Structure 1
Amino acid sequence: MKTFTVEEVKAHNRPDDCWIIVDGKVFDVTKFLNDHPGGKKVLVKVAGTDATKQFNTFHNEAIMQRSGLPLQIGIIETATNKSKQELKVQQNSSTRKQTDDVKTTASTTILSNKDTKFGDGLPYGDPTWYQGWNSPYYNESHAKLRRVIRAWVDKEIAPFCHEWSENKEIPRSVLKQAAKVGFLAAASGAGTNSKMASLLPYGLPAGISSEEFDIFHEFICVDELSRAGSGGLVWALQGGLSIALPPVMNFANEELKKRIVPECLAGDKVIALCITEPSAGSDVANLATTAKDTGDFFLLNGEKKWITQGAYADYYVVACRTGSEADGMAGISLLLVERSFEGVSARQMDCQGMWGSGTSYVVFEDVKVPKTHLIGKLNEGFKYIMHNFNHERLGIIMQASRFSRVCIEEALKYALKRKTFGQRLVDHAVLRNKLGHMIRQCEATHSWLESILFQCKTLPAETQAMTLAGPIALLKAQSTQTFEYCAREAAQIFGGLAYTRGGQGEKVERLYREVRAYAIPGGSEEIMLDLGVRQAVKKCAKL
């Protein structure tokens, strides 16, 4: 890219020839003057000068990616030298035998990032292992993966989240892109399912093999995508996939597995889980949708509500009653229903948040479902639903935990530059107190999550459900309440900017609307707290 001196930029200081400098980059904004939301005079006033301070005061990073960079015509000469130095450092780093310093002990592998800290270094803006802390949970492959996923998110996802959210639609091309990056395979649970290795159309992200891919790799993928600060985006890409595809992967017949799993992981088809009904949410055992065995097929009738990705899904995994009402949970089965079947309809719901995730109301009217589309055994569907509940809730926890951190990151960045009464916001003790309470809750939640993920990685599969169901339920409540607290306090720090959609408070405003979508689905906070204690009491009875 062409280089300029500061003196050269100074000459372009008129409305018909307007250049500005932002962070060492040179922009020709002449044709943009009339389109500037703040009016053209705002730009003309700083024509020919370094407007970095003014830009950072009123804009977020996404604006630069989306609107600024297309106007860039060069860089300042000093910035070139800096870029060359940074490139040299990166090249030296990439030629190291190992990307991170990995120390092996008799019992574990400890990753040290002392020489290769990751991210922009904002305190608590990233997990501690990104910022020079040693960790027993991660190795070189995890560090490699986070670089790949963050680069993808920062360039292709984060700058467009507000636009997609406002349109209430995520382009289908983004889903395909997520598939090619390997994100869909990672976030769906297929990455940690060794039996699915041959069905992954694009493999796993960062070229990681199925043998080395673990739950912490999945965590990094979900965590990094959530850093974009849009629950609607996360759910649009994998909200239905991560809860509907596992029953197919684990319990469907081979014909269904070989056809449906690759299609969904390739981003060519979308799958949604249909459990919740207008009158049955967490009380799964009392759902009313029925599937009558006619001999040749099941005749499916009923309604499902709040179905993530349901508006544009090609497949539905439907929980339905195949036994009598008296059978309760023992009379429930899972059917794989294709959108093309006659009698299937879905309409998008207008919800408080999660825009673009395709939350929908799905109706089944005399739908003929082939017997081959029964997932697992008849009347054992409740067991299959429960089998994936821990994984579903862990996904919610991962997202809520990072969203709490996003609120901290955005609030701290703003508090460092915004001044009131002659001081930066961060210099006011009352605001530091807010940040302190946000940070302590976020870090505690994250540490508990890593501890539970380690148990998922190391405990025998047959013991995990009973051992971890209670702690995961409690952690879900912890994570969503922390998220709600951080969203509220971040909104207070941003003030009016967090009340306006778009702009500097964009992420915080959007996340504040999405809190309820985490506190209720997957088991409400009240039910999670009760479940966690009931599980503990059961163990007390055995003492």
Structure 2
Amino acid sequence: MSRFTEEQNLFRQSYRKFLETEIAPNMDKWREAGIVDRSAFKKAGDLGFLMIWPEEKYGGMGDSDFRYEQIIIEETARVGCHEWFNTLHSRLVGTYFERFGTEEQKERFLPKCVSGDTILAIAMTEPGAGSDLAGMRSTAVDAGDHYVLNGSKTYISNGLNADVVIVAAKVGSASERHSMVLLIVERGMEGFERGRNLKKMGMPGQDTAELFFHDVKVPKANVLGVAGRGFYQLMEGLAEERLISAVGTSSNARRAFDLTRAYCMDRKLFGKTLADQQNTQFRMAEMDAEIDLIQVYVDHCVKALNEGRLNANMAAKAKMLASEIEWKMLDLGVQLHGGAGFMDEFPISRMFTDARINRILAGSSEVMRLIIGRDVFSNRYSSMLD
């Protein structure tokens, strides 16, 4: 039975055409510029491809089925347009408004997010606080009808493009490590400044920036959720964030496999194609099996998310395994391409450097192992088959 409904398959066809005509042809110039043009978000919004889940009164389809986002992620990976962080905007950040936003906030922000007029980002990471969010130093001081925000953030995706940034900051005393607030910071607020577009190992087309906050007055109307509960609100979204990563990395692994397979069937060595060599067959057979198996588990997690059953342990397993399998496939892909794999003109080369971040972002593989390991030795442990 298909993973997707007939309506979703039609959506896939339409979205694939959109990517092939509007996004993929522009990626090289956007990589050169170091940023995806804002028009990409606007064009996607105009066609209903940017946000699916918001209710119709906010401009969306009102369908919360994560499989629509799965299609978007899979197709974006298929054509090599992952540097356009549309899912960060649409599903990772946007759903914070659904979970914690007031009706006034939803009415104020969601329609323009759906249309692509407003681009979203989230700012958690600091120079001394990545996976350990409790170590952040940005502060928000209650000043009556507003908060005064001070601090800095780094490695923020969509950092230059974003019009609205959800910023996490400490409230209360220094001893209250988990007392945080999520603030909706808007472009143009006095004291909100952006640093440089950071140079990265890969993904040059994705704008990744430093953000600075100097006595930024954020009105209480821009508090997202409950002040003091920000840490737990962030934790609530992490499982879905890690599933988003797993969908993308498993899809990228399959693309790397397909590219490598095609190259091996064409490239000749000692009078035979690489595909005729037993070593190539064995290594590629192993990867084909591993990619298929992680796809099954990712689909299982998508179903669990739709049913409200996805937990931190399941998402950590998906995120860790998918990113590790992706890296294994990309390393093999470069190796089987030989010298060509080192050349930027071959997609496998760019994919290799772009993907190195995937075992770090949304929680490193080491942190995922910690989460899984703690669950293994807890009283609540149960396997997928229980």
TM beyond 0.5: yes
Deviations 1:123-144 (A, max 9, x none): xxxxxxxxxxxx3x32212221
Cα separation, partners in 2 of 1:162 and 1:499, compared to 1, 3 Å: farther
Aligned to 2:258: 409
Please say if 1:278 is aligned against 2:278: no
Aligned to 1:298: 147
Q: Give the CA deviation at 1:541.
A: 7.3
Aligned to 1:323: 172
CA distance, structure 1, for counterparts of residue 356 and residue 381 of structure 2:
35
Aligned to 2:327: 484
| Runs of at least 5 residues in structure 1 that lack an aligned partner in the other structure | 1-109, 111-134, 205-209
Q: Report if the CA contact (8 A) 1:272-1:313 is conserved.
A: yes
Deviations 1:371-426 (A, max 9, x none): 11111111011121111111111111111011101100111111122222222221
Q: Give the TM-score normalised by the residue count of structure 1.
A: 0.67
Q: Following superposition, which runs of at least 4 residues in structure 1 exceed 3 angstroms of deviation?
A: 539-542
Please say if 1:199 is aligned against 2:58: yes
Q: Which of 485, 493, 513 lines up with 2:336 in the alignment?
A: 493
Aligned to 1:334: 182
Deviations 1:488-533 (A, max 9, x none): 111112222221222xx12x11211122321111111011111022
Please say if 1:528 is aligned against 2:377: no
Deviations 1:226-261 (A, max 9, x none): 11124322x2x3324432222222212222211111
Q: Secondary structure at the match of 1:185?
A: coil
Aligned to 1:538: 378
Q: Secondary structure at the match of 1:377?
A: strand
Aligned AA for 2:240? H
CA distance, structure 2, for counterparts of residue 271 and residue 139 of structure 1:
29
CA distance, structure 1, for counterparts of residue 56 and residue 340 of structure 2:
46
Q: Give the TM-score normalised by the residue count of structure 2.
A: 0.93
Q: Report if the CA contact (8 A) 2:240-2:315 is conserved.
A: no
Aligned to 1:172: 38
Aligned to 2:76: 225
Mapping of residues 418-497 of structure 1, within 5 Å: 418-458=267-307, 461=308, 464=309, 468-497=311-340
Cα separation, partners in 2 of 1:448 and 1:342, compared to 1, 3 Å: same
Q: Report if the CA contact (8 A) 2:12-2:75 is conserved.
A: yes
| Runs of at least 5 residues in structure 2 that lack an aligned partner in the other structure | none
Q: Give the CA deviation at 1:338.
A: 0.9
Q: Which of 96, 102, 113 lines up with 1:253 in the alignment?
A: 102
Q: Tell me the matched-pair count.
A: 382
Q: Secondary structure at the match of 1:354?
A: coil
Q: Report if the CA contact (8 A) 1:470-1:533 is conserved.
A: no
CA distance, structure 2, for counterparts of residue 377 and residue 244 of structure 1:
17
Aligned to 1:97: none
Cα separation, partners in 2 of 1:401 and 1:262, compared to 1, 3 Å: same
Q: Give the CA deviation at 1:367.
A: 0.6
Flag the structure with more relative contact order, 1 or 2, with Cα contacts below 8 A and sequence separation at least 6.
2
Q: Give the CA deviation at 1:313.
A: 1.1
Q: Report if the CA contact (8 A) 1:180-1:266 is conserved.
A: yes
Aligned AA for 1:197? E
Q: Give the CA deviation at 1:540.
A: 4.6
Give percent identity, aligned residues only.
28
CA distance, structure 2, for counterparts of residue 429 and residue 282 of structure 1:
42
Q: Secondary structure at the match of 1:158?
A: helix
CA-based RMSD of the aligned residues comes to 1.9
Q: Report if the CA contact (8 A) 2:163-2:187 is conserved.
A: yes
Aligned to 1:154: 20
